[in-house]
Amino acid sequence: MQSLWNDTEAATFGTDPLGQRVYTSRLLGRNPALVLHGGGNTSVKVTEKDYFGDEVEICHVKGSGWDLATIERAGFAPVRMDALLKMARLPAMSDEDMVLQQRAAMTHPNAPAASIEAILHAILPFRFVDHSHANAISALTCAADGEARVRELYGDRVLIVPYVMPGFILAKTVADLINGRDLRKEGIQGMVLLKHGLFTFDDDARRSYELHIEMVTQAEDYLAKRAGATAADVPVPAPELMALAKLRQTVSKTRGFPQIARLSASPAALAYASLPQVADCATRGPLTPDHSIRTKRVPVVLGADHAASVQQFSADYAAYFQRHADGQTMLDPAPRYAVWPGQGIVSFGDTLKDARIVADLAEATAATVTLAERTGGWQPLSEKDIFDIEYWDLEQAKLRKGPARKVHQGKVALVTGCAAGIGFAIAESLAEQGAQVVGLDIDKEIPEIMAKIGAIGLVVNLTEDQPVQDTIDFAVREFGGIDIVVSNAGIFPKNDPLDTMAQPDWDRTIAINLTSHQKLMNKVIPYVKQGVDASIIFVGSRNFKAPGPGASAYSCSKAALTQLCRVAALELAPHKIRVNIVHPDAVFDTKLWTPEALLKSAQRYGMTVEEYKTKNLMKVEIRSKDIGNMVAAMASPLFAKVTGAQIPVDGGNDRVI
């Protein structure tokens, strides 16, 4: 592991202690082998003047909810040292009192809550304190001879602390350990918490950080020598997509909400999933205790019957809870990731971000456990210790801070023809309501267009079989399945009477407005059957009921599309898949309707443009977003018991009514 310190970069953060603290904290946070997603904490002790000009000793400690990789000055909680040191001298202190008193001792009421390790940082007699959950330290200490390894490697340079509960108990343990000692004279430069992590400290920011890098590197080198030759890479298999979709559906039902599922076939994931003893070593415990709030204590290791494996995991989790519960309410029993022998690791999450966080933690665990198994065996904390962390209210509070759940959160939506107009509005509405959207269009700018709403855009000609299959496979491979399909792609050909219409115009209209939808259904329905609260929505037109002269190709294609919807509703109802169609009319905020085209059409009816745009019974303008919101509603629980419906969004049309 290399030091990332750069003098020029460091200077941009300021030369004051807090500025240097921000910089070295970010250096730690940049390295996923040290900390992941909010892990670790850092501090700096300074003397500052308060509002009244009195000098106050302050410990600026990482604030709860901040990530070391992106932390700023505002991310550090300023806590009075005298209060923290008084707390350390108390014989006992509840978690609630600790949090309350740390908050009361802060010099800035709007700063984030201080880390639960603030007292520990305060009692260490050095200006800068760095703490990480380095993978190498876990591999080194999560072994039967972990303490002996630490002594062999670091000698008297570090304090060795047996695992105890983080927070006040850990602070008291360390306070007792260092009571009456002069750590500087003894040459103590760090502290190893067995089965937990590493602390380093110094009065210089760079020195404290580089001590951290040095000690982790020592652990890495030590383990590499004991591991010997690296195992050969496992060939990357073709993903079993239907099995992945079924697994996601099972886990989603167990969790009670739709889940994004991410399959990783990285070298670390495949090596882990290919270990002959993976069912044993994967179920001993997490890489570091605080991971359990996101990953649970262990993953599910899949057998031949994935549903049975998840069911057994849930039963085992309930038993684990019963063994250790003391008045807590059990969390849901669904796994947060799965070890899939021969395929890799599948990570689950309410959102893509959540699934990626779990994936990062799972892959770090995989690499570390694989290394530990090759260097003496993986022996993490007991399940009781992990339970205490998983159900520790201070840790659960981190998860409760998240925003309210959105209507389509965790769902995967496939939307066609969404580069502009109605299709874009549909994709946007679904994304706003939490769905992970994959947008398909022949427009080559669709990737950039979808990126504006946080969606994925794929260029595809929907009349071609293999490209359509490839896009469906992509959505399943990336997100685990498909729950919502909005079949919207279409064209409006030029108006020609039947006796003068060119045959290619008719054929092209039918191919795009009808046959492409049938091709999509043929390929996507098998995956939708494995979806969660699955729904298919077609976008039709008022013309199916009220055609106009010269619009035979368009009107017939939309009428046939409506019939396709009705048949699909009949076929898929036994699978609890809802199939409905929306019929828009007079939606003028699209690329098709230029100001010139609107004016020309309005004049043909003897109307102003505004009169023309509201020439429905309710005299209201219909916008693309109205269609988008309707489609999002049709895919939601509001329409849970509606299928085969044809819903006009047109402000009322006397010819239709």
Residues classed as catalytic: 554
How far is residue 337's CA from residue 310's CA, in Å, rounded to a whole number? 11
Residue 485: strand, helix, or coil: strand
Which helix (H) or strand (E) segment is 438 a member of? strand 436-441
Query: Which residue in the block uniquely carries the two structure tokens 């988008």?
Result: 628
The values of phi and psi at residue 155, to 5°, are: 60, -130
Q: Which ranges in 179-290 belong to alpha helices (H)?
A: 183-186, 205-227, 241-255, 267-273, 278-281
Burial of 253 (0-12, 13-18, 19+ CB in 10 A): middle
- Kindly give the pairing relationship between strand 456-459 and strand 436-441: parallel
Q: Kindly list the distances between the CA atom of residue 609 and the CA atoms of 367, 421, 597, 612, in Å, as whole numbers in the listed order.
A: 65, 19, 10, 5
List strand residue ranges (DSSP E) for 250-394, in order: 260-264, 300-301, 337-340, 344-349
If phi over 0 gives left and psi between -120 and 50 gives alpha, with beta otherwise, what is residue 228? left
For 418-429, give the secondary structure using H, E and C.
CCCHHHHHHHHH
As a whole number of angstroms, the distance between CA 13 and CA 369 comes to 37
Q: Scanning the structure block, which residue is given the tokens 């003098």?
A: 7
User: Residue 526: which of 284, 279, 329, 246 has the closest Cα?
Assistant: 246
Rounded to whole angstroms, the Cα distance separating 309 from 284 reads 17
